[in-house]
Amino acid sequence: MRKAVLLGWDGVPPSLVFDDLAEVMPNLTQLTKHSTYGPLRSTKPPITIPAWMCMATGCDPGQLGLYGFRHREPGNYKDIWIPDSNKIDSKKLWDFVGEKLGKSIVIGMPPSYPPPKVTGHLVSGFLAPGTDKTYTYPESLMEEIEDIVGEYSLDVFYRTEEKEELYTNLIDMVKKRHKLAKYLMKEKPWDLFVLMEVGSDRLHHGFWRFYDKQHHKYEPGNEYESKFVDFYRLLDKQLGELLEIMPEDALFVLTSDHGAKGRKGAFCINQWLEKKGLLSLKKQPTEPQSFEDLEIDWKNTKAWGWGGYYSRIFVNVEGYEEQGTVPPHEYERFRTNLAKELQKIKGPNGEDWKNIVDKPEDIYEDCKGDYPDLMVYFDDLCWRGSSSMGHESMYFYGSATGPDDAVHDWDGIYVTRFPGQTEAARKSQDILDIAPTILEFMGLETKDYMTGQAIRRQ
């Protein structure tokens, strides 16, 4: 079995690291001179979950039944569940390796809590509740980690105005994770080595407005602009150190699950549905109120929406929902007409938006789980959706969950360097191409349900 390394940087857009920061990232720049690299198209939706699991399994979100962080409890309007490792039925890369008696080291891939049994070693990702719980496999690895890095950091709290503290915690987390990674790469046996660093995504949400000159909150000469760059300088240093100790005969793959760009604001999808006469309240909120706290008149509601980087629209169908109002024979016509209306939504000043509205059945190989009836991306992801109501306008610029400068974008990055590769090629690939690329190189079987194509040397 040939060896492969998969290094993940969460939420990194191609123009940032391949172009804007190329001079401060000498290891990455040098790597691209002998690699196939470029933009990596993310999943629909471009969200950490499901994107990393799609990359690791070769399945799309519909095949996994993962449509974001939150999912509906079937038949319930408001109860939700959040995916954990027990919800992923499809084989991950390390499962394929284990079947052939190979060994894997997996660090930080979400969702990987509770830590599943692997042939090798696994450290759960940022969805683990804390290091006071068992977050590794085997459990004994926890004590080893403490000996190596002290108190391990799974994630940082990033929706905060305490920027100095956030930045300090970010740097500490990245250094500890990479110190652990380098230790495991050198000291433990492995055929597949996987590391996902979530710090880049947290940097973007916390500091994007300090770097991006096009962001509406950007202030020239601010104190964090150089720190934003310094973070990537650190990430590049860690990349160089990993490349130095990895075997020369291994395939190296660097990826990102999605991109990032400035956040313009939030659009109140349920206030829009109410204005259209499709959602009714028993009691109007006198101030902004979360969807969970709203008193919705379900018997007079035809559709409702969820917020997030995109909006999920659910139709209140008779016989399926507890208090359904849309007859099944009218469902498809209702859904199609609603999609057309959503497509026409404009910005706060009447400007045209590049809205994208999908029916899940049109974009996925299969639709498992409780999928939404429509998926809406406002102005090509520049505006988030909000399910809260009681705002003075359908548009607002703050965040109910704390300060957040960035939204996700469609393209992440990939860099693949095959052993002995000397030539370079820059082209676009799809996130579903990663699993077949690694499996094929390692000499493992790909599956018919994987629609991605293995990346070649050029």
pLDDT in tens, 196-232: 999 999 999 999 999 999 998 999 989 899 999 999 9
If pLDDT is split at 50, 70 and 90, which confidence band does 143 have?
very high
Say if CB 41 and CB 287 are below 8 A apart: no
pLDDT at 456 over 90: no
pLDDT at 397 over 90: no
If pLDDT is split at 50, 70 and 90, which confidence band does 404 have?
confident
Predicted structure pTM score? 0.95
Q: What is the pLDDT of residue 452?
A: 96
What's the mean pLDDT in 14-32?
A: 97
Bond before 114 cis per omega within 30 degrees: yes
Q: What is the pLDDT of residue 458?
A: 58
pLDDT at 399 over 80: no
Q: What is the pLDDT of residue 400?
A: 67
Per the rule left: phi > 0, alpha: psi between -120 and 50, beta: everything else, 258 is: beta
What's the mean pLDDT in 256-279?
A: 96
Weakest-pLDDT range from 158-162, 171-175, 207-211: 158-162
185 contacts: CB under 8 Å, gap ≥ 6 = 105, 193, 242, 245, 246
Give the Cα separation of 401 and 292 in Å (integer): 14
If pLDDT is split at 50, 70 and 90, which confidence band does 175 have?
very high
